[in-house]
Amino acid sequence: MSSQSFSGLSLFWRSLSSHRGWQTQWRKPEPKAHYDAVIVGGGGHGLGAAYYLAKEHGLTNIAVLEKGWIGGGNTGRNTTIIRSNYLFDESAALYDHSLKLWENLSQALNYNVMFSPRGVMMLAHTVHDIQVFKRHVHANRCNGVDNEWLEPAEAKEFCPPLNIEGNIRYPVLGAALQRRGGTARHDAVAWGYARAADALGVDIIENCEVTGIRRDARGAVEALETTRGVIQSRKVGVSAAGHSSVIMALAGVHVPLESYPLQALVSEPVKPVFPCVVMSNTIHAYISQSDKGELVIGAGTDAYTSYTQRGALHINTHTLDAICELFPHFRRLRMLRNWGGIVDVTPDRSPIIAKTPVPGLYVNCGWGTGGFKATPGSAHVFAWTIARDEPHPINAPFTIERFRDGYLIDEAAAAAVAH
Amino acid sequence: MLLIVCPYCGKRPEIEFTYGGQAHLARPAQPSQLDDQAWAEFLYMRANTKGIYAERWRHSRGCGRFFNALRDTTTDHFLAFYKTGEAQPALSGSGASPTPRESTT
């Protein structure tokens, strides 16, 4: 098990031997025949769930199965925006739980996840936007979530590159600002959780795709069939993002999900020019600047369901049109890379973190276009749900049955971006 | 960008069309007779198939008409287009598509 600790002192100590003494950060074990719990999906949510199962619930004979490499799915494909300014009480509780965990995550994991609360500013372009955002500001404050209204000049002061003139198709009429929001380094989240979980004895097994879920006479989960053999476990947590419905179908569980490509792109790296995160619902743009200097830009979902991890270029150019209107001096920047990920979208655009009709099978899915921000909180309450066979109070409303019973958490209508 | 063959207008770029989701979902004749589970199934549950998927498209910036298509969601290649009301074309080995296949359009 990895025991090396990261600190300024250890960095200095290793530098004396030209940094030759560093060890790998987690093991690459062979899968065992039996585990007390197995997580399917080695993204941030799955690795985090394994970490909290081991750290807070004392389950250490557990494995994370990943069909590719850890953090290679949506954890490595998102635009790293973190915020908690959701409208409904249930959502605010879940996302703010996550934001509070983000604030101390680097210390908790002894791994620098580069959480940067640089502020997330959402632009209003219409009278409707102004009314909706002010409603969000008030609702958030009632829930103890910071959010404030800015007039255009104040928005410009917070984000100097922003064009607030009347010379664009949809001028900026104001903005809602969550100062505690920001970004983090996405790969470091996966690696930090993996390293910390591994140190607690969790087996992280890559290149291991689940191909079947075996159930006993009572219907409960008893084993997983994988490309690396049969693995027995009475508790299985599925955290498989865009492939959640495919995995759940192996156990005969139908979840209300549709999988869409969601695209993002980055520019060539430039010197620090962009101090915060800016999002625009109405003209659809998200933008921030990474520590490498690339402008990280989030585009929209494609119109159709797909598992191809790519989408059409017109989705990206539509977003770039908006970026160039809002930040005219980015017009001559060249775009470096674009990519897609497959996001699992629920009808109400809120996640499902719940028990399923199959005993021993748990699911954490439906994060749609905005799961990265929720990684620590989602993982934390999912681990609780698996360990105790009952939901944490925070994720209790996020069931599959809410669609039957009519208790939707309709962030689809309330979201700050069009889905 | 997908190239989509409208059965009425021919091959056009994707931006002329609106996606209509899973095809062949009939609205229950007597919704008031359904229990909550059956109604939720109709409203919210979709096949979300990884493989060949029957879906609706509408030529919203063209003739305005709905039609159906078969598309492999692992490759985004279309396999067939057909008019609303027509039966889903039979394909050999339809269902899961283990290997990428060429478009037949």
Q: What is the ipTM of this complex?
A: 0.91
What sections of A58-126 are H helices per DSSP? Answer: 89-103, 105-109
- At A119-176, the pLDDT tens digits run 999 999 999 999 999 999 999 999 999 999 999 999 999 999 999 999 999 999 999 9
Of A254, A305, A406, the CB nearest to B73: A305
Q: What is the dihedral of CA A273, A276, A281, A284, to 10 degrees?
A: 30
Residues of A within 8 A of B19 (CB-CB) are 303-304
Residues of A within 8 A of B41 (CB-CB) are 254
Residues of B within 8 A of A304 (CB-CB) are 2, 19, 55, 71, 76
Count of CB pairs separated by less than 8 Å, A with B: 58
Residues of B within 8 A of A211 (CB-CB) are none
Residue A418 confidence class, pLDDT cut points 50, 70, 90:
low
Is B1–A254 a contact, with Cβ atoms under 8 angstroms apart? no
Q: pTM of this prediction?
A: 0.94
Residues of A within 8 A of B74 (CB-CB) are 307-308
Q: What are phi and psi of A107, to 5 degrees?
A: -70, -40
| Contact between A326 and A172 (Cβ < 8 Å) | yes
* pLDDT score of A413: 65
Q: How far is B5 from chain A (nearest CA, A)?
A: 15
* pLDDT score of B13: 97
Nearest CA in chain A to B49: A246
- At A44-57, the pLDDT tens digits run 999 999 999 999 99
Is A258–B19 a contact, with Cβ atoms under 8 angstroms apart? no
Nearest CA in chain B to A304: B19
Q: What are phi and psi of A174, to 5 degrees?
A: 155, -175
Q: Report how far apart, in Å, the C-alpha atoms of A329 and of each of A17, A140, A227, A274, A324 are.
A: 46, 33, 50, 12, 7
Distance, CA of A66 to CA of A55 (rounded, Å): 21
* pLDDT score of A411: 86
Q: A19, A88, A74, A147: which is closest to A397 by C-alpha?
A: A88
A62-65 and A37-40 strand pairing: parallel
Mean pLDDT on A295-318: 95
* pLDDT score of A3: 65
Give the full edge-to-edge strand order of the sheet including A120-124.
Answer: A148-150, A174-178, A120-124, A277-280, A285-289, A295-301, A258-267, A335-345
- At A202-243, the pLDDT tens digits run 999 999 999 999 999 999 999 999 999 999 999 999 999 999
For chain B, which residues lie within 8 Å of any Cβ of chain A, measuring from their own Cβ? Answer: 1-2, 14-15, 17-19, 21, 36-37, 40-41, 43-46, 48, 50, 53, 55, 71, 73-76
Is A243–B50 a contact, with Cβ atoms under 8 angstroms apart? yes
Residues of B within 8 A of A307 (CB-CB) are 50, 73-74
Is A256–B50 a contact, with Cβ atoms under 8 angstroms apart? no
Q: What is the mean pLDDT of each run of 10 residues along chain B (105 residues)?
A: 96 97 95 94 96 97 98 97 95 51 41
Give me the count of residues in chain B. Answer: 105
Mean pLDDT on A115-122: 98
Distance, CA of A245 to CA of A241 (rounded, Å): 9
Could you list the beta-strand ranges (E) of A114-233.
Answer: 120-124, 148-150, 174-178, 182-183, 203-205, 210-215, 221-226, 229-232
Residues of B within 8 A of A321 (CB-CB) are none
CA A30 to chain centroid, in Å, comes to 28
Q: Which 3 state secondary structure label does DSSP give A27?
A: coil
Q: How far is A81 from chain B (nearest CA, A)?
A: 27
Q: Which 3 state secondary structure label does DSSP give A100?
A: helix
Q: How far is B102 from chain A (nearest CA, A)?
A: 15
Q: Which residues contact A230 (CB under 8 A, 6 or more apart)?
A: A33, A214, A223, A224
Q: Which 3 state secondary structure label does DSSP give A140?
A: helix
Is B43–A312 a contact, with Cβ atoms under 8 angstroms apart? no
Give the full edge-to-edge strand order of the sheet including A210-215.
Answer: A210-215, A221-226, A229-232
Distance, CA of A235 to CA of A38 (rounded, Å): 6
Mean pLDDT on A289-312: 95
Q: How far is B19 from chain A (nearest CA, A)?
A: 6
